[in-house]
Chains A and B, each alone.
Chain A
Amino acid sequence: MTEIFGIPVQAFMGQLLIGLINGSFYALLSLGLAVIFGLLNIINFTHGAQYMMGAFCAYLLLNKTGIGYWPALLIAPVIVGATGVLVERTMLKRLYNLDHLYGLLLTFGLALIIQGLFRNEYGTSGQPYAMPQALSGGHNLGFMFLPNYRAWVIAASLVVCLATWFIIERTKLGSYLRAATENPALVQAFGINVPRMITLTYGFGVALAALAGVMAGPIYQVSPQMGADLIIVVFAVVVIGGMGSIMGSIVTGFGLGIVEGLTKVFYPEASNTVIFVIMAVVLLFKPAGLFGKER
């Protein structure tokens, strides 16, 4: 049995894999947050609750209507995204000319409401969500056992992240979005419906969170608290990556997941704090984040 730095290969690769999976969720979630902050200047504290709603949506779809995992991957984000649009239209709109901090406080309050409602209904223990048949089981790769579903999570999130990045950075629609962030009045003067774009962007960010939630269901159990502690870590990821940078969030998300996984191998007690330590260090030397631009 070969060893890397004194740890058996199997353990090392296993923790790395788990780190990569966590990283996929960090990337997906921080992507949604970065999109929303980059384009709307809102810190969406509700993101964790919206992630949880995505998972519950999939759970309810399965248990109440028999709709399984694959359709849920599409339906749940749409439903939760729609709630996001509603929130933006009714509440967030009014805060754009105020201090950013009010947006933070509002979304924090919304997160409390949503989490409380679900906790009221379901308690804090997780509900089981069955893994889709096609992805269950795994392959023994020799140096480790790779469950199929976890491999799928990594692949799917990479695809979604890169697709989002592409849309925003390389397409016309994306350029409208980016322009609207810089100078909404001017872009509106060109005839582009900026408020509608902002609303849909928020909805899209929320939908990304919900998608992450659906994918999390089979692995992490569907529980009302699942987003609460995760959201803080995701904030750290976004801050490290650079708060408006799309590519920054993706790279940092996966990267930090790996760093966390490695920490679990060599020094498990620190695995919770390592991301925050990195964030503190980054904020000291490069406050706009690794990939961000000072605004």
Chain B
Amino acid sequence: MFAIRKLTAAAVALALAATAAQAQVSDGVVKIGVLNDMSSLYADIGGPGSVIAARMAVEDFGAAKKGMKVEIVSADHQNKPDVGSQIARQWIDVDKVDVIIDVPNSGVALAVSQVVRDKGKAFLNTGAASSDLTGKACSPNTIHWLYDTWMLAHGTGSAVVKTGGKSWFFITADYAFGHALERDTAEVVTHSGGKVLGAVRAPLNTQDFSSFLLQAQSSKAQVIGLANAGGDTINSIKQAAEFGIVKGGQSLAGLLVFLSDVHGLGLDKAQGLVFTETWYWDMNDASRAWAKRYAAANGGKYPTMDHAGVYSAVLHYLKAVEAAKTDDGTKVIAKMKEMPTDDPLFGKGRVRQDGRKIHPAYLFEVKKPSESKYPYDYYKLRATIPADQAFRPEKDGGCSLVK
């Protein structure tokens, strides 16, 4: 009787000691929510693969050994801001999720950023593009990790203009992302002495681009800028071939292209496409090793830069939680800005006050089928843009956090 009581007391004491180690972590668990498009046009860019990447980060961080309990949940936002914000709200209120990660689709990202800000949690966005996330919609609870429309516009846009593409016509995905990308690229084009002849807005997840392509064709622009992504980009490029657009002398500029898009198009249709990304699996040994590990867990599909971004962000987040000894969203985000970043995939970098993570950007060109020697050998490197030039200068964004 007495012995049992003593044992119970000892057990309780041990349990308390263990929890004391994570004293400030809410309910003793760091809960990560991977929210993205699991079934529609962006599913291959992030999708279930992001959950795998997040898991790999938790493993590599050694959470179990450090006594930190980390759980991962995931959900499909279906590219709808109302669905995304309701999931975020419920995750935070009911399921005690501490950090939300990925969220492609800028419309959803902006909505989620607002919810996370209202509730003081953390939002690590790797999937969305709109540069407004670190501009006029910046927040002390959000870090924009991977890329943005400014970087794409300046990387791809100026490269294409330099090679002679002076007159542009845009086919734009009709929502926050497309508008931001079109706006930022148009600015680059006009600054470099080019001209924007027109633009047409296509609804998200359009299957038939024929009438938009026809308008682009009749504008006689030298470059048709595709301010869209994922399935939309794939469809635009495929159907452009059908209408003989490239044969007719115009060139297509894919302003946002991922490895999964190139894979979906096939090298014969994608060859020659020039675009900007911030990570490619075949760039160095560490990335190659990681990619092979990832592919083994993902049925042979290689990671896109979004997956790499999720890995890198989760890793840095966990390091910050450990250092700050809390998972309070605002405090961890502040810590993540304080600590320089370093991971096997992106190397050394940092997070700015406005929430923008800085790393170099790379201009890639898709190889010809004859140049590809092994599976997923798709890109050749055309140029490297150093980190301090790749992203919009902090003072230009209109972010209230920048003093």
Q: Does B190 contact A (CB under 8 A)?
A: no
Task: Tell me whether B208 and A11 are in contact (CB under 8 A).
Answer: no
**Number of chain A residues whose Cβ lies closer than 8 Å to a Cβ of chain B:** 25
A149 → B minimal CB distance (Å) = 8
Binary flags per residue of A212-227, CB closer than 8 Å to B gives 1, else 0: 0000000111010110
Binary flags per residue of A68-81, CB closer than 8 Å to B gives 1, else 0: 00000000000000
Q: Once bound together, how far apart are the Cα atoms of A110 and B259, in whole Å?
A: 37
Q: Does B217 contact A (CB under 8 A)?
A: yes
Q: Does A126 contact B (CB under 8 A)?
A: yes
A128 / chain B contacts, CB cutoff of 8 Å: 238
A221 / chain B contacts, CB cutoff of 8 Å: 207-208, 235
Binary flags per residue of B128-141, CB closer than 8 Å to A gives 1, else 0: 00000000000000
Q: Does B231 contact A (CB under 8 A)?
A: yes
Binary flags per residue of B213-233, CB closer than 8 Å to A gives 1, else 0: 011011000000000001100
Q: Which of B39, B207, B243 contacts A123 (CB 8 A)?
A: B39
B205 / chain A contacts, CB cutoff of 8 Å: 124-125, 225
Task: Tell me whether B218 and A126 are in contact (CB under 8 A).
Answer: no
Task: Tell me whether B231 and A8 are in contact (CB under 8 A).
Answer: no
- A115-152 interface with B by 8 A CB criterion: 119, 123-126, 128, 131, 138, 145, 147
Q: Which of B43, B207, B214, B230 contacts A14 (CB 8 A)?
A: B214
Which size bracket describes the interface of B in this complex?
20 to 34
- B57-99 interface with A by 8 A CB criterion: none
Give the A-B pair count, Cβ closer than 8 A: 54
Q: Given the interface contacts A119-B39, A124-B40, A125-B40, does A15 sit within 8 Å of B211 by beta carbon? A: yes
Residue of B nearest to A131 (CB): B242
A124 / chain B contacts, CB cutoff of 8 Å: 39-41, 205
- A87-133 interface with B by 8 A CB criterion: 119, 123-126, 128, 131
Residue of B nearest to A140 (CB): B244
Q: Does A18 contact B (CB under 8 A)?
A: yes
Binary flags per residue of B107-132, CB closer than 8 Å to A gives 1, else 0: 00000000000000000000000000
Q: Does A264 contact B (CB under 8 A)?
A: yes
| A interface secondary structure, majority | mixed
Q: Does A10 contact B (CB under 8 A)?
A: yes
B359 → A minimal CB distance (Å) = 29
Q: Does A195 contact B (CB under 8 A)?
A: no
Q: Once bound together, how far apart are the Cα atoms of A116 and B43, in whole Å?
A: 17
B39 / chain A contacts, CB cutoff of 8 Å: 119, 123-124
- B219-276 interface with A by 8 A CB criterion: 230-231, 235, 238, 242-244, 248
B236 → A minimal CB distance (Å) = 12
Task: Tell me whether A126 and B214 are in contact (CB under 8 A).
Answer: no
Residue of B nearest to A125 (CB): B231
Task: Tell me whether B218 and A11 are in contact (CB under 8 A).
Answer: yes
A261 / chain B contacts, CB cutoff of 8 Å: 211
Task: Tell me whether A125 and B43 are in contact (CB under 8 A).
Answer: yes
Task: Tell me whether A14 and B238 are in contact (CB under 8 A).
Answer: no
A119 / chain B contacts, CB cutoff of 8 Å: 39
Task: Tell me whether B244 and A145 are in contact (CB under 8 A).
Answer: yes
Q: Which of A18, A138, A147, A226 contacts B207 (CB 8 A)?
A: A226
Task: Tell me whether A18 and B211 are in contact (CB under 8 A).
Answer: yes
Task: Tell me whether A10 and B218 are in contact (CB under 8 A).
Answer: yes
Task: Tell me whether B235 and A147 are in contact (CB under 8 A).
Answer: no
Task: Tell me whether B235 and A126 are in contact (CB under 8 A).
Answer: yes
Q: Given the interface contacts A14-B214, A145-B243, does A123 sit within 8 Å of B200 by beta carbon? A: no
Q: Given the interface contacts A128-B238, A145-B244, does A220 sit within 8 Å of B43 by beta carbon? A: no
Write the residues of chain A forming the contact surface with B, with a CB cutoff of 8 angstroms.
Answer: 8, 10-11, 14-15, 18, 119, 123-126, 128, 131, 138, 145, 147, 219-221, 223, 225-226, 261, 264, 268
5 pairs from A and B in contact (CB 8 Å cutoff): A8-B218, A15-B214, A124-B41, A125-B43, A221-B208
Write the residues of chain B forming the contact surface with A, with a CB cutoff of 8 angstroms.
Answer: 39-41, 43, 200, 205, 207-208, 210-211, 214-215, 217-218, 230-231, 235, 238, 242-244, 248
